[in-house]
Structure 1
Amino acid sequence: MAVRPKETVVPFAVHGEGTGVLQTLTAAGDAGHVFRADAYPAFGGEDSAPSPLFYALGALTSCNQVTASLVAKDLGITLGAWTFDVRGDLDTAVLVGGADGNANFDRVEVRASVETDADEEQFATLVSETARRCPVTQLFQRSGLEFANDWTRAPLPATVGA
């Protein structure tokens, strides 16, 4: 009997081609989004495109915003404008020098601010549920690095004509 894939599983695929450390990537799917990755000169690149590490941190912010939007819908709250600042501390001794150890970030800190009509309790649920349900947050948290997740609730601006 053949095993059927779960109906809720959506495959994500990327194709990459390149030379040196410069790569052009194409996301699978109808849109076929194309993006490039390069590295700083210290890592053998020309800094002509974001580093894969910037993409990893950017994926963290984007995935949090997407996931929080889904969670907010479940909670019946409204979200407005977002700001994110993410910092990843990377000891390059393993990556560049080949030292023993873990090539992962040592620490990643997320600072997020979102406009919302959520009360304090709803906002706490929004933050915890987003962290639990966000695939990219889970990748970072489960990797064993030190992970800080600091969110601030800001009021929604007054609606025009209200």
Structure 2
Amino acid sequence: MAVRPKASVVPFVLHGEGTGVAQKLTAAGDAGHVFHADAYPAFGGADSAPSPLFYALGALTSCNQVTASLVAKDLGIQLGRWTFEVQGDLDTAVLVAGAEGNANFHRVEVRATVETDADEEQFATLVAETERRCPVSQLFKRSGLEFVNDWSRAALPAHT
């Protein structure tokens, strides 16, 4: 008898093709979103598109924003405009020179500011629950790197 996946499991399917280090990626589904990746010349690329490492960091900010929106709904709070600054520190010795060790970022820092009507306690819950529930944050955290997640809240502008 075939095992059926849980109803809550959603497959994310991506097709990639390319030459050298440049790649065209197409997300499965009706929209068929297409995006491109390349690398810096030092890594053999032409820098014609963001590197996969930038996409990884971008996925981290986007997923946090999506997850926080779901958490905010659960908490009954409103969110407005977001800003993110993310830095991933990567020692390229393993990637480029083949040195022994871990090719992963050794540290990633997320600095987020979000407009919200949440009080201090609600905001702390928002941050903690977002980190816990965000698939991409968990990928980074569970990889063993130093993960810094520094969020601040800004006042939600009054409606005019």
TM-score, scaled to structure 1: 0.98
Aligned sequence identity (%): 84
TM-superposed deviation, 1:2? 2.5
1:86 aligns with 86
Task: Please give the per-residue CA displacement for 1:45-73, whole angstroms capped at 9, x wherever unaligned.
Answer: 00000000000000000000000000000
2:25 aligns with 25
TM-superposed deviation, 1:3? 1.4
2:148 aligns with 148
Letter in 2 for 1:91: D
Whole-angstrom CA distance in 1 between matches of 2:13 and 2:4: 20
2:73 aligns with 73
1:8 aligns with 8
Show the 5 A alignment for 1:130-149: 130-149=130-149
2:64 aligns with 64
2:44 aligns with 44
RMSD across aligned positions (CA):
0.4
Aligned residues: 160
Letter in 1 for 2:155: P
Deviation beyond 2 Å, 4+ runs, structure 1: none
Whole-angstrom CA distance in 1 between matches of 2:5 and 2:130: 25
TM-score, scaled to structure 2: 0.99
Give the SS at the match of 1:86. Answer: strand
Matched, 1:99 2:79: no
Give the SS at the match of 1:61. Answer: helix
Letter in 2 for 1:77: I
Whole-angstrom CA distance in 2 between matches of 1:32 and 1:131: 29
Letter in 2 for 1:48: S
Q: Which runs of 5+ in 2 are unaligned?
A: none
TM-superposed deviation, 1:4? 1.2
Show the 5 A alignment for 1:111-130: 111-130=111-130
Whole-angstrom CA distance in 1 between matches of 2:86 and 2:58: 8
Q: Which runs of 5+ in 1 are unaligned?
A: none
Whole-angstrom CA distance in 1 between matches of 2:4 and 2:95: 40
TM-superposed deviation, 1:141? 0.1
Give the SS at the match of 1:126. Answer: helix
Whole-angstrom CA distance in 2 between matches of 1:151 and 1:16: 34
Task: Please give the per-residue CA displacement for 1:125-150, whole angstroms capped at 9, x wherever unaligned.
Answer: 00000000000000000000000000
